[in-house]
Amino acid sequence: MSSNDVLGRKLPFSLEAEQSVIGSVLINPECFDDIAQLISSEDFYLPEHEQIFYAIKGMYASSKTVDVVTLANELVKEGVYSDTDTLNNYIKTIIQTVPSAANVVDYAKIVKDKSILRMLIDACSQITDNAYSEQHEVNRILDSAEQKIFDIAQGNETKGFAHIRDVLKLTLDNLNLLATNPDAAHGTQTGFSDLDDTLVGMGPGELILVGARPGMGKTSFVLNIASNVAKRTKKAVCIFSLEMSNQELVSRMLSGEGMVDSYNIRSGKLTPEDWQNLAQASASLAECDILIDDTTGITVTGMKAKLRRVKNLGLVVIDYLQLMQGEHHNDNRVQEVGEISRNMKILAKELRVPVVCCAQLSRGPESRTDKKPMLSDLRDSGAIEQDADVVLFLYRDEYYDKSKAEQSSAKVIVAKNRHGAVRDVEMGWLPQFTKFITLNKELEPPT
């Protein structure tokens, strides 16, 4: 980055603060511990200061003694400087400008703040260049711009050690809460009691993968979860539909909510009772804070940009993984899907909400005698299995055995559960309403 921007203004930096940080460490090397997580060598504006601090950090990591002589020797040995006398004089000058190392943290914060301002200026310059070039779609440029600013903000967050005393207090307080209120043990509940008993709900920051062959009901399943969560928690539920339009999605939700045959909705052959049920279902769903985005081929960055604007977010649903695009074009689809799944896990962690994502399975089950899906059937990437906290598979016998009449039961196979047991959960399946229910009983009304 040049020392001046396009308008001839000097980039922000503080010579005194940079010198004071280096001088403080040389006066009292132990104070390096206080600033190690606050700044890096890249935060220094002047190249010589960046090189000096980089050398100090390397010596510290190697448990070498840091003083004027050893530092100068290290810089000469690494080929950064050749004139030892000039270097020694400059280092001594720096030390003389700092009366005490007591305020080293304050000096470091000034250096960091100036560095962030320069990064913002640089990001804005890149955003301006992208806008002038007109080489990409406007939405992609906007997403990129927001991501650049967000990355700077995220990079400014630091998290140090937590002493076990503090963590113990939080843990015991939480255990006390669970003892007095068992419902608090559950994360976000799916609304299916048998499944929730196995998962103990969906935890904040968890990536839950729902895999199935086409036509098995994965979209209906995640929509059922979405409406259950929206009604029970009164929080916002965001649905990204990459395959179906928002109207198709809502039609399915109306069918399940109003118990109206989905064929009648698609064909328009509705009875007076159907209309009445649809009106009631519509009124119920309208009270839910459900947001639907049907952008085709959206990226995780695009999702993140939209989700950051949502207040009181409780759940994210994505349908489905293999229709998403990576941040960069990759001829290797397996690697691209792997990148997408990793970014989705990061997304869940950053937003601190569960992310439920559908995934298409390969044709593996069709070539086996036992048609039940396995983790190896996840299409395009084994990384999906690694990134997900929970993997659920949907299975129905009649899907493969066409001689059997369509049944009113299905299995949700908990194939991976990072925090609990794996098992098969029997579910009720109402195909005409595209609705899953807890077996042998309807869902309890939301409390």
First to last CA, the chain: 57
354-367 average pLDDT score? 80
Under a CB-based contact definition with an 8 Å cutoff, are residues 198 and 212 in contact? no
Task: Tell whether the model's pLDDT for residue 316 goes beyond 90.
Answer: yes
Q: Which residues of 181-219 are buried (b: 16+ CB within 10 A; e: fewer)?
A: eeeeeebbbbbbeebbebbebbbebbbbbbbbbeebbbb
179-191 average pLDDT score? 72
Cβ neighbourhood burial of 93 (10 Å; 0-12, 13-18, 19+):
exposed
**d(Cα 326, Cα 173) in Å, to the nearest integer?**
42
218-230 average pLDDT score? 91
Under a CB-based contact definition with an 8 Å cutoff, are residues 140 and 301 in contact? no
378 pairs with which residues across the strands? 361
Alpha-carbon 438 to chain mean position: 30
Token pair in block for residue 16: 């005194």
Task: Tell whether the model's pLDDT for residue 446 goes beyond 70.
Answer: no
CATH topology of domain 185-438: Rossmann fold (3.40.50)
Strand 435-438, strand 424-430: pairing: antiparallel
Task: Tell whether the model's pLDDT for residue 442 goes beyond 50.
Answer: no
Output the pLDDT for position 21.
Answer: 93
Q: Which residues of 285-299 are buried (b: 16+ CB within 10 A; e: fewer)?
A: beebbbbbbbeeebb
50 is catalytic: no
7-21 average pLDDT score? 85
For the chain, percent of residues with pLDDT exceeding 70: 87
Question: What amino acid occupies position 110?
Answer: I
Under a CB-based contact definition with an 8 Å cutoff, are residues 290 and 266 in contact? no
Considering the chain, what is the average pLDDT of its residues?
81
CATH topology of domain 15-155: DNAb Helicase; Chain A (1.10.860)
What region does 380 belong to: left with phi over 0, alpha with psi -120 to 50, or beta?
Answer: left
Task: Tell whether the model's pLDDT for residue 349 goes beyond 50.
Answer: yes
Output the pLDDT for position 117.
Answer: 92
Question: What amino acid occupies position 434?
Answer: T
Domain boundaries, the chain: 15-155, 185-438
Supply the DSSP symbol for 188.
Answer: B
R_g of the chain computed on alpha carbons: 29
Helix or strand (DSSP H, E) at 286: helix 272-286
Q: Between 83 and 350, whose confidence is greater?
A: 350
45-73 average pLDDT score? 86
pLDDT in tens, 385-424: 788 899 998 888 777 666 565 567 788 889 888 887 888 8
Q: What is the number of other CB atoms lying within 10 angstroms of the CB of residue 115?
A: 21
pLDDT in tens, 143-172: 778 778 877 776 665 555 666 777 777 778
Res. 351 pLDDT band, cuts 50 70 90: confident
409 pairs with which residues across the strands? 428
Catalytic hit among 42, 48, 206, 243: 243
Those residues whose C-beta lies under 8 Å from the C-beta of residue 283, and which sit 6 or more positions away, are none
Res. 444 pLDDT band, cuts 50 70 90: very low
Per-state percent for the chain, helix, strand, coil, to nearest 5: 55, 15, 35
Angle of the 272-286 helix axis to the 246-258 helix axis, nearest 10: 110
Does 15-155 match 185-438 in CATH topology? no
Token pair in block for residue 279: 């009106």
The closest alpha carbon to 351, from 220, 236, 230, 225, belongs to 236
267-279 average pLDDT score? 86
